[in-house]
Every structure is written in structure tokens, then in C-alpha cells.
Amino acid sequence: MTTVITYGTFDLLHTGHINILKRAKEMGDFLIVGVTADKYDRERGKLNVQQSLSERIDNVKQTGLADKIIVEEYVGQKADDIQKYNVDKFVIGSDWIGKFDWLQQYCDVVYLPRTQGVSSTLLRNQKNGILKMGIVGNGRIASRFITESKYVSGIEVSAILGKNADHVKKFADKFQINENFTDLNAFLDVVDAVYIATPHVTHYDYIKQAILHKKHVLCEKPMVLSKDQAQELYDLAKQNDVVLFEAIKTAYAPCFAQLIGVAKSGTIGIIKNVVATFTKIIPDKTLREWDKNLGGGAFNELASYPLLAITKLLGTEPKHIHFTSFLDKDTNVDYMTRADFVFNNAVATATVAIGAKQEGSMVIAGTNGYIYVPAPWWKTEYFEVRFEDASKNMKYFSRFDGDGLRYELADFLALLRTKSMNYKLSGAESIFMADVLEKFNTALRTSENIDIL
């Protein structure tokens, strides 16, 4: 007897699920179906499950295809189940190609093509009224976005826009995206919302055109490099009744929101100083991060993260900002920059780099104690509140799954449905960050309020 096993959430059962089950059934004599537990789905960061475990088990039962149904409750259970039930074949959808190759030491691993155009996500989209999302750009971040989108309710990535027809088509084929375009207007005609993942200097035009086409916009950071452009776009979005959302993933991470709440609650007293660092080494100077014409440089690339923390904790009205930058002699962009802020009753320092490395932690100093967030603080999942009396110290934990894009996407879709205010990163805060970036780039040109080393 040949025993086959497959796994899935089986939320809002559809033709695609049934086709996978049928094909798995045809591969053997006995089919075992693993249905993910609610707790396990939450632990692995899957945000789009709408039906309970019992409902999803009933979904599978009603197909009449499963000879045995089990519940998947923990990481690594697949290997245990395969050995426990003497499984001969493990079957899963083709969007997981390669991920389960390690199970070949226990049984045959088979990846089955998904049914195109049918998914739980699409059914949820129809229910909630958000049907199609298009991606502008086909680079590194766009790839991560597609992976992360699988964990969020209410989205179907249905179109991709790029400049090179061959590259765009290859990207669409790789990620099984139905439509690909090089023409912006044709692209905007077939989507309801757009995610913009192109070089910084191109954001303004893409955002403006999308808004004028009445499309909601989720744009990678930094949204724009000018205060006036940011203000104009937020005003335009309001006039056209669409959502404009700057995609700084840290703002939407559960633990970061908790961190801000604890810091502002008075637990550490009055906040007097914020020190936040984000550095990385990008050795390939042919990449856009080193291209001055594409808005490259450490501050344009990474400052949005520490600026987010500073504005959330200290506001949007510093009295003075001074920059210190190290410039790369080959590209003439800053490879490391420190920005020092003076507010009415507090100070802050943001340090970023693409050509130097420093501990990527954040410290929030208060009159009663301080908060320490270890590296990488921008993927906040743990922080400590520390006092003079160490016996009173407190530790906080929360998950940060994947690349974090799923959190910003989930909040973006929630705003589309509720039309409420984005309190996690308001328009005023986004405009403030654009203003600081503009001040930095102006300082580079004029040599005012900056030390260039």
C-alpha cells in the first residue's frame, strides 16, 4: 500500500485545494491530510486565516478525499508524521518548491502546480472588496513582498509593472503573476491598489499617477525626498479618497508598537534622549544604494528607520538638526552619517551606514530609567526596561515574522476597509521624515549644518 500525506490550512475551501487533494489521492492508496492548528498558524505569522480549525477540518472531510485527517501543531511535525505513519510520498503545492527537499530523507517529495487564478486569498478579496494589487518594480524588495503577501488576508498580487519587458515577464512567470506590463496606464487600469518598490527618486511620479487613477498606494521608504512633495501627495490622496501609506515595516511590527506605548506611558519617566543605529555593509558599489542619481547613500537608504523612532517618541518639531557624514570618494555618496537632533526638552541621535558597521541597537533614556532594544532593533521582538534598582527591570517579547512586510500590508488593507487614520505612521510623521531627508540632501549641496569627513 502506498501512503501519501499533504498539509494545508484549507481556509475557505476552493477548487485549488480540491485539485491538490485529488491529485495527491491519485498518487497512492491512502491519503493523510494535515490541517494546521490555529495556534500554529499564528506562531508562523500567517495573518489571513478566517475559519476556525473545526471549520477547516470539516472543509477537508466534505471532499471525501481524505482517508485520515490529522492536526499540524508544531514546526518539524511533518518529519515525525511521515515516520509515524510510514508515509511513502509527501505532496505539496509548487509555490513551496525547494522548501521541503529535506524531507526526501524520509520519503518521496512531490511539488504539484497550483490552480492558476483560484486561491483562498481571492475568495477573501471578493468578500472584502479588495480584489487586485499590482507591484511597481521587479527587484529584490518586490520579490520579498510577494512572499510576505501570502500571509495576509485580502490581497491577490495580480500584475507587475517594470521597464524591461523581458525582465518583467520572467518575474511574472517566476511568481505566477497573471499580468505583466511596461505601460503604466495599462497597468493601473487592471489593479485596485499598488505597491511601489522602485528607486527613491521615481516614487513621486508613480504615486501621483496612481492617486490620479484613484488607486490606493503602499510605497516603500523613503516615500519621497522632499517635504513639499510629501505634503502634496497626502493632500492629493485625501482629495481622491484613496489611502497613501509609507511602507516602513518597523512601524507596524507588534513589538515596536508595544515599545512606543511603554516608552510614552511614563514608565521610564520623561524621555530625554533617543539613540538609534542602523548600519550595514553593501560591498557592491554598482547597486542603486551607491548611485547618487538614484537617491543613493546611507541616509536616504536607511534613515527612515531611526527617524521613525525619533518622531514617534519626540514629535515632529526639532529646534535644530546637524549632520556629520563620511563621503565615498568613488561614488560621492555618504557611506555613513550621524544626525543630531535638539528638541525643546530632549535630544536624539540617528546613525546609519552602508559602508561601515556598528552595533544596531536603540536606547531610550528617561528620568526614571531607560529602554534597551538590542540589534536589530528595527525588527523589534524584544526589549528591556531597566532601572537603577535592577530588581525592577522588565522584559518584553513579541514575534517578528519573516521580513516584516506582512505587518504593514495587513494594516494597509485594514485601512482600505475602515478608512480610519493611520496612527502607526501618520501623514504628519511621514512628512516630517521627508523634510529631514530634504534637509540632509540640501546640507550636502550647501555644506551648511553638516560636517563632511
- H or E segment to which residue 92 belongs: strand 89-93
Give this prediction's pTM: 0.75
My answer on whether 139 and 224 are in the same domain is yes
My answer on whether 59 and 193 are in the same domain is no
Last residue of a domain, one of 228, 247, 266: 247
The sign of the dihedral angle between the CA atoms of 135, 136, 138, 139 is negative
> Is residue 356 over pLDDT 50?
yes
Peptide bond into 318 cis (omega under 30): no
> Is residue 183 over pLDDT 90?
yes
Q: What is the CATH number of the domain that holds 149?
A: 3.40.50.720
Taking the alpha carbons at both ends of the chain, their separation in whole angstroms is 73
Last residue of a domain, one of 112, 145, 177: 112
For residue 328, the 8-state DSSP code is: P
My answer on whether 36 and 125 are in the same domain is no
Which residue has better confidence, 428 or 96?
Answer: 428
Which residue has better confidence, 56 or 160?
Answer: 160
Best CA proximity match to 384, nearest among 376, 367, 374: 374
The pLDDT score that the predictor gives to residue 419 is: 67
My answer on whether 153 and 218 are in the same domain is yes
My answer on whether 43 and 130 are in the same domain is no
Q: Which of 169-173, 204-208, 419-423 has the highest mean pLDDT?
A: 204-208
CA distances 355 to 121, 297, 299, Å, are 41, 9, 12
Pairing mode, if any, of strands 193-196 and 68-72? unpaired
* Whole-number Å distance between alpha carbons of 310 and 131: 36
Domain span holding position 108: 3-112
My answer on whether 294 and 431 are in the same domain is yes
In our burial notation (b when 16+ CB lie closer than 10 A, e otherwise), range 429-438 reads bbbbbbbbbb
Whether 27 contacts 90, CB under 8 Å: no
My answer on whether 270 and 358 are in the same domain is yes
Q: What is the CATH number of the domain that holds 47?
A: 3.40.50.620
> Is residue 123 over pLDDT 60?
no
* Radius of gyration in angstroms for the set of CA atoms belonging to the chain, rounded to a whole number: 24
Q: Quickly state the pLDDT bin for 121 (edges 50, 70, 90).
A: very low
Cell reading at 255: 513589538
Give the type of residue at 15: T
The pLDDT score that the predictor gives to residue 153 is: 66
Last residue of a domain, one of 221, 247, 273: 247
The pLDDT score that the predictor gives to residue 122 is: 45
My answer on whether 237 and 139 are in the same domain is yes
Least confident of 89-93, 220-224, 377-381, 395-399: 395-399
How many independent structural domains does the chain possess? 3
pLDDT in tens, 312-354: 999 999 999 999 999 999 999 999 999 999 999 999 999 999 9
* Whole-number Å distance between alpha carbons of 10 and 115: 14
Q: What is the CATH number of the domain that holds 257?
A: 3.30.360.10
Q: Quickly state the pLDDT bin for 232 (edges 50, 70, 90).
A: very high
For residue 221, the 8-state DSSP code is: S
My answer on whether 135 and 184 are in the same domain is yes
Whether 355 contacts 328, CB under 8 Å: yes
My answer on whether 182 and 259 are in the same domain is no
The pLDDT score that the predictor gives to residue 404 is: 85
The pLDDT score that the predictor gives to residue 189 is: 94
Cell reading at 16: 485549488
pLDDT in tens, 259-301: 999 999 889 999 999 999 999 999 999 999 999 999 999 999 9
My answer on whether 271 and 401 are in the same domain is yes
My answer on whether 80 and 159 are in the same domain is no
The pLDDT score that the predictor gives to residue 55 is: 83
The pLDDT score that the predictor gives to residue 194 is: 96
* Whole-number Å distance between alpha carbons of 289 and 297: 6
